[in-house]
Copies of this chain bind each other. A is one copy, B any other.
Amino acid sequence: MNFASDNWSGAAPEIMEAVFRANEGAVPSYGGDDLTKKVEAKFAELFERDCAVYLVTTGGAANGLALSVLTPPYGMILCHEESHVQMDECAGPEFFTGGAKLLPVAGAAGKLTPAAVEKALAGFPDRPPHGAPATVLSLTQGTECGTMYSVAELTALCETAHQAGLSVHMDGARFANAVAATGAAPAELSWKAGVDVLSFGGSKNGCLMAEAVVFFDKALARDFEFRRKRAGHLPAKLRFIAAQLDAYLESGLWLKLASHANAMARKLSGGLAAIDGVEISYPTEINAVFACFPDGVAEKLREQGAAFYPWITPGDPASGRMQRLICSFKTTDEDVQTFLKAVSKLA
C-alpha cells in the first residue's frame, strides 16, 4: 500500500531496457552522442517546434537552472506558496539564480490565478532600484495539490505575466499527468499558452532519473550549457539520460504511464469519497489524492503498512489533518482496493 510518492517506484521496463541498450560501444561524452541528439529531435517533434533541450538528472536542477537563465540575480520569481520551488528544494532556486527572491503567492488547490498574480505584483510595485524587480512567474503543471491548469487558465496566467514583463517557467515534474488528463497537445499546454521554459519531468513517471529543460525560444537558452556544467549537472555519460527519455517519448509511453497513474488516483479518490467520514480535499485531476480521514484513521493505516504523507498548507484549517496519496505507473488496482478496504474498516 505505497501511496507515499511517485518516486518510490522504480523505472518502467521499457526505460530500463533502453538504458541497457545504450551501454554499447565507445560514445562521445557530455552530450556529443547520437542518442542525445535524437532525443532533442524528439522533443522538437513532440512540441511541434524547434526548441533548445537540455537533459539533467533531477527536477531541482531543471527548475533551478531554468530559472537562473530567466532572471538576473536581483530579480524576483513569483510562485505558488505550496510549489516545489518554494517548499521542497532547500532554497535551490535562490542558489542557482545567485540570490533571486521568491515571492510566494497563495491560491486554492495549488493553483494561481491572474487576479492573485496581479495582486501580488501590485503589493510589490516596481521601484527601481529598491524592490527586486519581478522577472519570472513559475507555474506547476500538474500542481502539487493534484490539480491542473486548463489551457484557458494557463493562457490567461501567461498573458498576465507577459504583460507585466515576466517570463513564464513551468515546473512540469508531472507534466505527463497533466497532458494525459487534459488530452491537450503538449504544445497547447506549454508554448502555445505562453510558457517560455518547461522543466519536463520523467523521474516521477517511470524514468530512473531524467528531466529535460525545454526552451521554446532557443535564444533564451543562451548560457544554459555553462550553467549546467558549473553546477555539476552535465554527466559525462549523458547518453544514459538520453536513453531514458528516448524510450519515454517512444510510442507514447510517457502518456501511457501517466494515464495509468491518473486512472488509479481517480479510482482511489472515488472509492474514498464513498466512505463515510472521508473528505476529498481537492479535485483529483492527475495522480494524487488529497483527503481528510476521521481522527486516528491515518495513523492506523500507517500501522498497517500503508505509506503516505500528511500535507501541510499554510493557513489552511485542514492542514495537518490532510493526507496526500500518490499513485504511480506501478500502482495496481489491487493496491487501491486493499487500501480502500482498510479505510472502510477503520472509518
B7, B90, B314, B319: which contacts A130 (Cβ < 8 A)? B90
CB of A27 within 8 A of CB of B11, answer no
Q: B28 to A10, Cβ gap below 8 A? A: no
If A10-B27, A120-B314 touch, whether A5 touches B236 (CB-CB below 8 Å) is yes
Docked-complex contact A100 and B90, CB < 8 angstroms: no
Q: Specify the main secondary structure of chain A where it touches its partner.
A: loop
Q: CB-defined interface of A56-81 with B at 8 Å, one 1/0 digit per residue?
A: 11111111110000001111100001
Bound-state Cα–Cα, A103 to B91, Å: 11
Report the separation of the CA atoms of residues A123 and B239 in the bound assembly, to the nearest whole angstrom. 30
Tell me the bound Cα distance from A208 to B236 in angstroms. 9
Q: How far is the CA of A120 from the CA of B81 in the complex (A)?
A: 11
Contacts of A58 in B (CB 8 A): 232-236
Question: Does B232 lie within 8 Å of A56, measured CB to CB?
Answer: yes
CA distance A188 to B282 in the complex (A): 48
**Contacts from A to B (Cβ < 8 Å):** 2, 4-5, 7-11, 16, 19-20, 22-30, 56-65, 72-76, 81, 87-92, 94-104, 119-120, 122-125, 128-133, 203-204, 208-209, 223, 225-237, 239-240, 307, 312-315, 319-320, 330
A113 CB → nearest B CB, Å? 15
Across the A-B interface, give the 5 residue pairs with the lowest CB-CB distance, nearest first: A123-B314, A61-B232, A60-B232, A7-B236, A94-B99
Q: Which residue of B lies closest to A328 (CB)?
A: B26
